[in-house]
Amino acid sequence: MELKDYYRLIVRHLPLVLVSTIVGTLIAGLYSFLATPVYQAKAQLFVSTPSSALDVSALVQGSSFSQQRVKSYAQIINGPSTLEPVIKDLGLNISSEKLAKQITATAPLDTVLINITVSNENKYLAARIANAVGNQFAITANSLESTNAIESNSIKVTMVKTATVPTSPYSPKKALNLILGFILGFGLGLGIAILRQIFDNTIKGAE
């Protein structure tokens, strides 16, 4: 089918396409309106090696050492050793396993930074949890490193960016949902019109 054929098809089945598009948009809008808003609060940690500043060679080695540690830290930051003290300090009525699902940690490539993201339906609680996790993990990391007497004083975790209360929800994304609803509704209407065209064997004219 050429472009003009699609145009004629849409014009011929315009009521169907319009109804399908409107229904798709309305469903997306209803979902966005009824869905519970989820907020995200973000904090950032900096992993450093204080003793590496003594000379240039030690500085290079310390930077590499920190980058290696960061990758591991990002994987364990939402572990029980960090979350259980957070739950106790904030008085949360939730298990560490469920709280872990609300927390994600990422380590940007070739950096010594760890980005902590907390998702929660309560925007104030999301910020409190993010800050509590950042502060507590600094203690957890030091306790982990203290098992090695050589490395115990060569690593330091500092929270360089505290989480602020988010002003708008992360989800649902109302504008995006409406656009997707419009596109899906229009596509469904067009698809039904094409199927009707394919299986239509009625006589349209003398030819």
181 in Cβ contact with 29 (< 8 Å): yes
78 in Cβ contact with 94 (< 8 Å): no
Q: How many angstroms separate the CA atoms of 138 and 147, rounded?
A: 15
Position 17 pLDDT exceeds 50: yes
Position 200 pLDDT exceeds 90: no
Q: How many angstroms separate the CA atoms of 113 and 164, rounded?
A: 18
For residue 56, the model assigns a pLDDT of 43
Position 164 pLDDT exceeds 90: yes
The DSSP element (H or E) to which 106 belongs, if any, is strand 103-106
Q: Residues of the chain with pLDDT > 70: what percent?
A: 86
Distances from the Cα of 6 to the Cαs of 2, 114, 197, 202, 203, in angstroms?
7, 51, 11, 19, 20
* DSSP classification of residue 168: S
Mean pLDDT of the chain: 84
159 in Cβ contact with 44 (< 8 Å): yes
Q: How many angstroms separate the CA atoms of 8 and 203, rounded?
A: 17
How confident is the model over 58-95, as pLDDT tens digits?
444 545 666 777 888 888 898 998 999 999 999 999 99
For residue 99, the model assigns a pLDDT of 94
- Residue 104 bridge partners (DSSP): 117
Q: What is the DSSP string of 111-150?
A: SSEEEEEEEESSHHHHHHHHHHHHHHHHHHHHHHHTTSTT
How confident is the model over 34-65, as pLDDT tens digits?
889 999 999 999 988 765 444 444 444 545 66
| Overall average pLDDT of the 149-169 stretch | 79
Name the amino acid, one letter, at 91: G
The pTM of the full predicted model, rounded to 2 decimals, is: 0.73
- Give ∠ CA 41-154-113 in degrees, rounded to 5: 25
**Residue for token digits 């925007």?**
123
Position 206 pLDDT exceeds 80: no
How confident is the model over 112-152, as pLDDT tens digits?
899 999 999 999 999 999 999 999 998 888 777 765 544 44
| Overall average pLDDT of the 1-26 stretch | 85
Token pair belonging to 72: 């591991």
Label residue 100 by pLDDT band (50, 70, 90).
Answer: very high
For residue 58, the model assigns a pLDDT of 47
SS3 (DSSP) at 44: strand
| Overall average pLDDT of the 148-166 stretch | 75
